[in-house]
Amino acid sequence: MARVTGLSVLTAYGSGPEALWDGLLSQKPATSAVTRFDTARHRAHDACTVPGTPDTFAELARLIDDACDQARLSPAERRQAPLVLAVHAGADTADRATRLAAACGLREVRTVHTAACAAASSAVAEAAQLVTDRTEDRVVVAGASFVDASMFAAFDDAGILAPDGVARPFSAGRDGPVLGDGAAAVVVERAGAVRPWLRVAGWGNAAEAHHVCRPHPEGAGPAAAITAALRRAGVGPDRVGYVNAHATATPAFDAGEAAAVLRALAPYGAQVPVSSTKALHGHCLEASGLVELVVCALALRHNELPVNAGHLGPDGDCPLDLVLERGREPRADHALSLNTGFGGVSSVLLLAKS
């Protein structure tokens, strides 16, 4: 059994799960004008960022220490635990990752996941597999993405970013995401010294290979990943009480994901509460799966679902039960966290209330 016994997170709402939860409950997006670099020549000018220019690996070191301390890992337990990372790969990533593991007192870097926006959720899936198969007693998973000039320019040049700085997942009139800073770390253990935040009950990965950047209109990949996660956990779709959707507020991707949820959770798909918190904390790219795992942990612990912000009105391509007001409770004891990426990759985590 894979239990999440420690977690830490950084978003534009601040550091720590409490800051993130307060931000989500405020229903106010953490969006502001970008000051980290010049956006004068761009169509979009806003993002969800923390102050200054964070160093990715310095922030990861702090978050890993926080998560390990929360899980009450001893120095000896840290030395036995491998690190699984989710980051955007660069020329020095392997060296910096190795130094990070050593600085945090961990055994080694086992894997660096770079599968676009599904990287972090696939990293958590690997950790859960290792712990469930008894290959490891515990695994530390960490991931980060901070808005930089090159990625912002790439998304903006492709016409993907919301020009008015407002993301509207699953909504009529949606026209793209807002990028966001995000980093998080979790400790996944078979058993632990503290009450777990939640269990990773199932996971599924799929690659629909439909198109390099356009999704399958019927959501073939995400549907397959959801089905695999449910099958692995031995859980039926009636046990899913909430879906934290990938939904980046792009017309085609949101429609495909809605089709996947309806198909994979049939006949309950239209009754399951759904929201995409990217409208609030921003799209954290490679770190999305970890940030949104923390969102699900908080929602299950507080028994309240975060809203699907920015909604203007229903879209016929997205006939889902969206969480549009505060006070909604999960309809059952499991939550699905769904992430997809360019190239047709999808990764799903089925998370169970502890």
The per-residue pLDDT for range 193-241, each reduced to its tens digit, is 899 999 999 999 988 776 666 666 677 889 999 999 999 999 999 999 9
The per-residue pLDDT for range 105-131, each reduced to its tens digit, is 999 999 999 978 999 999 999 999 999
The span from the CA of 329 to the CA of 34, in Å, is: 35
* CATH 3.30.70.20 is the classification of domain 200-353: no
- 20 is written with which tokens? 């993130």
The secondary structure of 199-232 as a DSSP string is EEEEEEEEE--S-SSS--TT-HHHHHHHHHHHHH
Per-residue pLDDT, 25: 98
CB count in 10 Å sphere of residue 137: 14
Which three-class secondary structure string do you get for 79-119? HHCCEEEECCCCCCHHHHHHHHHHHCCCCCEEEEECCHHHH
Rounded to two decimals, the pTM is 0.96
- Please identify, in words, the CATH class of the domain defined by 2-189: alpha beta
- 349 is written with which tokens? 């985590």
Per-residue pLDDT, 116: 85
Q: Which residues contact 195 (CB under 8 A, 6 or more apart)?
A: 354
Catalytic machinery residues: 117, 246, 283
Per-residue pLDDT, 298: 98
Q: Which of 201, 212, 262 is nearest to 237 (CA)?
A: 262
- 184 is written with which tokens? 């998080």
Q: Which residues contact 202 (CB under 8 A, 6 or more apart)?
A: 228, 229, 230, 231, 232, 233, 235, 349, 350
Across-strand partners of 143?
Answer: 86, 184
- 292 is written with which tokens? 């949104």
Element (H, E) at 296: helix 288-302
**Within the chain, which residue ranges are assigned CATH 3.40.47.10?**
2-189, 200-353
Residues with pLDDT less than 50, the chain: none
- 254 is written with which tokens? 């949101």
- 320 is written with which tokens? 């889902």
Count helices and strands (H / E) in the chain.
10, 14
Q: Which of 128, 141, 332, 333 is nearest to 232 (CA)?
A: 128
